[in-house]
Amino acid sequence: MKIIKKAKQMQTIAHKLKLMGKTIGVVPTMGALHEGHLSLVRIAKKQSDIVILTIFVNPSQFSPNEDFSKYPRTFNNDKSFAQKEKVDYIFYPEASEMYGTDFETYINCEKTSKMLEGEFRPIHFRGVTTIVAKLFNITEPNIAVFGQKDAQQAFIIEKMVKDLNFNTKIIIAPICRTKDGLALSSRNVYLSIFERDDALILSESLKIAKERIGKGERNPKQLQKEIRKIIDTRNSSKVDYIRIVDASSFTYPDKLVKGTEIYILLAVRFGKTRLIDNIKIKIK
């Protein structure tokens, strides 16, 4: 496994590999790897000849009031994880390598980046699409794997790939959870024992909502109200949003229609830690 820190060097390697007829699978991450990231690497490994794991805590997707400086950085640990999974290359640039002092070109998915997460994190998705586009240009992936936990991010990246004709197939991998249901996230390390216990309400409420849909509930507003009531029972919880969207368009349906797929999306703070979670459901 090679660790590459310079964009030009990574780009030359990726380009040579492509000329040799190799397929490249990329897993973009901000490090602090956990089992969820490894599941993405395993998918990339199965579907491509060469796997490039990118590790970069991207400053442009954090607002000044967010946790950029505090975001967990665990490179040595990440390196051994990657080695065990037989990753071929880690692309691990410095911020100055990715954003020179005269950087001024951004990519923005205009509409979808403003809703949901975008309402609470206004510059977030502009930073994500910009860095992912740069990473794609540097690594020339045939496929790139993202997690369903960041469902809006995955949707926006798929949109960017379609709108801007990137020659990369986006694969969205299922959410990995602990045995008691907490969606794996690098931010879980911030939770106190009590907050972690409260946070289990996220997956519990999603499960209950799925059951309600199974029994015939078709009103998104009613479901959102019921989920809110369940989450509000936990002391440390503070809901940012609970929203149902159509999975194929990220629009808000008035009614759940047979044959469509929806996401129930949650963003909730537990103390100072903000967690997101979701479930994708096919309406039968």
* Interactions with ligand PAF, residue window 7-46 (CB under 6 A): 28-30
Site string for ligand PAF, 104-143 (x = CB under 6 A): ------------------------x--xx-----------
Q: Is 124 a catalytic residue?
A: no
* Interactions with ligand PAF, residue window 80-99 (CB under 6 A): none
Q: How far is the CB of 121 from ligand PAF (least distance, A)?
A: 11
Q: How far is the CB of 77 from ligand PAF (least distance, A)?
A: 16
| Exposed / middle / buried, residue 211 (Cβ in 10 Å: 0-12, 13-18, 19+) | exposed
Residue of 15, 34, 37, 124 marked active site: 37
- The DSSP call for residue 86 is T
* Angle, helices 201-214/220-231, rounded to nearest 10 degrees: 150
Is residue 33 within 8 Å of residue 81, measured between CB atoms?
Answer: yes
Q: How many CA atoms lie within 13 A of 260 on its CB side?
A: 19
**What is the helix (H) or strand (E) element at residue 228, kind and residue range?**
helix 220-231
148 binds ligand PAF (CB under 6 A): no
Separation CA 236–CA 273 (nearest Å) = 10
Q: How far is the CB of 104 from ligand PAF (least distance, A)?
A: 19
Catalytic positions, written as ranges: 37
Contacts to ligand PAF by CB under 6 A: 28-30, 58, 61, 128, 131-132, 150, 153
